[in-house]
Amino acid sequence: MSTIAVYPGTFDPITNGHTDLVERASKLFNQVIVAVAASPKKRPALSHEMRISLAKHVLAHLPNVEVVGFDNLLTEFTRSVKGQVVIRGLRAVSDFEYEFQLANMNRAIAPDVESIFLTPSEKHSYISSTLVREIASLNGDFGQFVNPEVKRVLQEHYQTI
DSSP string covering 60-90: TT-TTEEEEEE-S-HHHHHHHTT--EEEEE-
Let me know: does 7 contact 34? Beta carbons within 8 Å: yes
Q: Is 3 annotated as a binding residue?
A: no
Q: Which of 26, 48, 51, 129 is catalytic?
A: 129
Q: Is 157 annotated as a binding residue?
A: no
Which residues lie closer than 8 Å to 72 by C-beta, 6 or more apart? none
Q: Is 18 annotated as a binding residue?
A: yes
129 is catalytic: yes
Q: Which of 56, 57, 91, 157 is catalytic?
A: 91
91 is catalytic: yes
Q: Which of 42, 82, 123, 152 is catalytic?
A: 42
Q: Where are the alpha helices (DSSP H) in the chain?
A: 16-28, 48-58, 74-80, 93-109, 129-137, 148-159
The values of phi and psi at residue 85, to 5°, are -135, 140
42 is catalytic: yes
Q: Is 129 annotated as a binding residue?
A: yes
Q: Is 99 annotated as a binding residue?
A: yes
Q: Is 66 annotated as a binding residue?
A: no
133 is catalytic: no
Taking each continuous run of H as one helix and of E as one strand, the counts in the chain are 6, 5
Q: Is 19 annotated as a binding residue?
A: no
Q: Is 53 annotated as a binding residue?
A: no
Annotated binding residues for substrate: 10, 42, 74, 88
Catalytic residues: 18, 42, 91, 129
In the annotated binding site for ATP, the residues are 10-11, 18, 89-91, 99, 124-130
Binding residues: 10-11, 18, 42, 74, 88-91, 99, 124-130
